[in-house]
Amino acid sequence: MNRKLLIVLGPVLGLVMFAGAVRVASWTYAKQQPAPAPAAAAQAPAAAATPEADAKKPYVEAEYRAFPVVGSRVAIWAVAQLHLLFAAFVLAVPIFAFIVEAIGYKTGDLRYDKLAYEFTKLLSVSFSLTATFGAFLTFMLIILYPKFTNYLMSVFSPTFLPYVLLFFFEAFFLYTYYYGWGKFHPLVHLGLGLGLNIVGTGIMFIANAWLTFMMSPRGISETGAVLSVKEAIWNYTWMPINVHRVIANVAFGGSVAAAYAAFKFLQAKTDEERAHYDWMGYIGNFVAILAFLPLPFAGYWLAKEIYAFSQTLGLTMMGGAFSWLFIIQAVLIGNLFLAANYYLWLGMGRVEGVQPLQKWIKYLLIGIAICFMVWATPRSIIATVSEVRAMGGSSHPIIGYLGVMSAKNTAVNILILTTFMSFLLYRRTGKVAAVSWAKRGHVAQLVIFAATAIFVIFLGVYGYFVEATVRIGLSVPQVLSVLFAMIAIMTIDIFLFRGARKTGEMRWGRIPAISQYVLIFIAVTFTWLMGLMGYVRSGLRQHYHVYGVLRDQSVDAFTPTLGFATKVVSVTVLLFFLLIGLVFWISSLHDKPDFERKPKTVRPTKEPEAELT
């Protein structure tokens, strides 16, 4: 591009952005003026004419202000979601950067150190965007929902200064961790990484207290007066959300980092680059799926605490306005499992001599597909009056039985178990166990797997024949048996493959390009899932800002249709990927060669003699 044009482009863009911001602000201000009531409007011209009337105009505190075009709720929703997505990324990346760096330090393998640094490079810009959206969200809350924000501030005022202080510490740790790479003793650097993780988690815990209080308020009187800030923080859903978010953030961050690696893999020019980014994508995805497997269990705990706080809230979630949302969730999670397994199966091609294991894939696929179908079966279906009459109700006489929790809990547990087995198959590609008890070890693993699957299915079927009080409790042994199986099988596997004989070398980079698109698909699906679950967590309160305490009196107090909610989620996800693309681009500038000024071309000067003549 023309250099003069480039020089002008910067200031012009700056001016356009400034003018745009001023225009939006003035437009917002113009739109938020409430229309005067008819009587007030009739008196307004006369009243406005007298300076005395102006002087005596009473101060009225606004309860709500309107955001133009999309409305206040959608505006807050989008900004909050973007803030949360970036915050999740900024909290997750240091967790696995720290783990990867620690592995590198322990093993002395420099590849891990390089990988951890590459993850960390994405943090700097993301941190700024997180803070920007955080400030944006705060201002939007103050402007659009002043009374509600004021109430939250009055309840949680003791938490704000520690929050700011932790934020300052996070900036300190993050920048010293990033810029100090290779400048300190490795243990000192790891210490900085640990500090970054502790402070980041602390920040999230404080923010979680505010939002969980809105859902399950505690520590206040019937009229909303604060009785105990400690109880307000430690409300029913605070700790389950903390745990759920830590795990989900790791899964999400891993998937986005894997998508970054996939992008770089597809851009790569050399085999060496492809090998590095294939490995990076694998690690990112491994972390994502590893964190994803226990996530449903954390979800159970959260749901249990929601029910413990308020049966009404729990029933609204699972049986009321939001019940169909969980069918959409089933489609998303089913896709995640399918894509994650597909990526693993494609990855098995990196190793020679994998054919004996590949025969199992079709059985795993069948298992996953059946579980997916069961999980996505709705209890009641949309039907015409005559169809409902023919079925004898809104649920199908046969398939309807798969739409209840007994079947769905069973399906999700088997799905987790199957994905775990895919991991196990991938893990042992190119290796043969060399220990003396290898055969017995394999049999033990198979027996544990089969026994767990049978036990889970048995409990699922048993649930149809017992009373509700017994049935609800069956999900606990199902979950525990799957957890036990995963831990037991993995433990055996670690010892089984110690000193294993290699049958083929791992050739990083030798994977079909479609696998990289699968990684990007997984990242988009994770992001969309976070958006959807963020909506249900917040939307559950329905017409309350603080559930059962502070009612939403605004024009947005209704609960929108799921179709509308999914549109908002999609727009937010697209915006996030647009911005994360920007983060990737800015981060990649670091690796670009420095600008080199071309030597000036010397123009031939006219001969002085010629001028004279």
Partner 1 sequence: MKIPLILRIGALVVATTGFYTYVGQMVPQKEVQPPKETALGAEMTTAEMVKVGQEIMAGKGICLTCHTIGKTGALRFPDLAGVGEKAKTRVPGLSDVEYLAQTLYEPTAYVVPGFPPAMPPVNQPPIALTDQEILCVIAALQTLGGTPTVTMKTTHHYYDGTPKPGAAPPPAAAPKSIP
| Contact residues for partner 1, defined by CB under 8 A | 147, 151, 222-225, 263, 266-267, 307, 310-313, 315-316, 319-321, 324-325, 327-328, 331-332, 378, 382, 393, 404, 406, 463-465, 467-469, 471-472, 517, 520-521, 524-525, 528, 542-544, 547-553, 557-563, 565-567, 569-570, 573-574, 577
Whichever of 95 and 540 has its CB closer to partner 1, that residue is 540
Q: Rounded distance, CA 412 to CA 415, Å? A: 5
What's the min distance (Å) between Cβ of 542 and partner 1? 7
Shortest Å, Cβ 213 to partner 1: 13
Residue 499 zone, left/alpha/beta (φ > 0; ψ -120 to 50; rest) = left
- Cβ proximity to partner 1: between 18 and 558 the closer is 558
Nearer to partner 1, 509 or 548 (CB): 548
Closest CB to partner 1 among residues 126, 316: 316
* Residue with tokens 């783990």, as numbered in its chain: 99
Which stretches of 302-453 are assigned E, i.e. beta strand? 431-432
Question: Structure tokens of 362?
Answer: 């079709």
254, 284 Cβ separation under 8 angstroms: yes
Rounded Cα–Cα distance for residues 83 and 87 (Å)? 6
CB 287 within 8 A of CB 280: no
Nearest approach in angstroms of CB 513 to partner 1 is: 10
Least distance to partner 1 from the beta carbon of 228, Å? 17
Q: What are phi and psi for residue 53, nearest 5 degrees? A: -65, -40
Distance CA(414)–CA(373), nearest Å, equals 12
Residue labelled with tokens 């680059």: 273
CA–CA separation, 102 vs 115, rounded Å?
11
* Gap between the Cα atoms of 517 and 265, Å rounded: 10
Looking at the Cβ atoms of 33 and 384, the one nearer to partner 1 is 384
| Shortest reach from residue 12's CB to partner 1, in Å | 24
- Within 13 Å and on the Cβ side, how many CA atoms surround 399? 13
Taking the C-alpha atoms of residue 558 and residue 556, their distance in angstroms, rounded to an integer, is 5
Closest CA to 149 of 69, 231, 214: 214
- Tell me the closest approach of the beta carbon of residue 95 to partner 1, in angstroms: 25
Closest to 66 in 3D by CA, of 139, 144, 142, 137: 144
Query: In the beta sheet, which residues pair with residue 501?
Result: 432
Supply the minimum distance, in Å, between the C-beta of residue 256 and partner 1: 12
Work out the angle at residue 254's Cα, subtended by the Cα atoms of residues 252 and 259, and round it to the nearest 5 degrees: 95
Distance between CA atoms of residues 24 and 136, nearest Å: 14
* Shortest distance, position 113 Cβ to partner 1, whole Å: 28
Closer to partner 1 by CB, 116 or 251: give it. 251
DSSP 606: P
Q: Judged by CB, which is closer to partner 1: 415, or 550?
A: 550
Cα dihedral 521, 523, 524, 530 in deg (nearest 10): 140
DSSP 400: G
CB of residue 184 vs partner 1: minimum separation in angstroms? 37
Calculated CA dihedral for residues 82, 87, 89, 90, nearest 10 degrees: 140
- Asked if 501 and 434 count as a contact pair (C-beta separation under 8 A), the reply is yes
Cβ-based nearer residue to partner 1, 242 or 538: 538
Distance of CA 580 to the CA centre of its chain: 13
Q: CB of residue 548 vs partner 1: minimum separation in angstroms?
A: 4
As measured in angstroms, the least distance from the Cβ of 330 to partner 1 is 10
Task: Tell me the closest approach of the beta carbon of residue 283 to partner 1, in angstroms.
Answer: 20
Q: Are 500 and 431 in contact (CB under 8 A)?
A: yes
Nearer to partner 1, 467 or 594 (CB): 467
Least CB distance to partner 1 at residue 149 (A): 12
Within 10 Å of residue 193's Cβ, how many Cβ atoms? Answer: 23
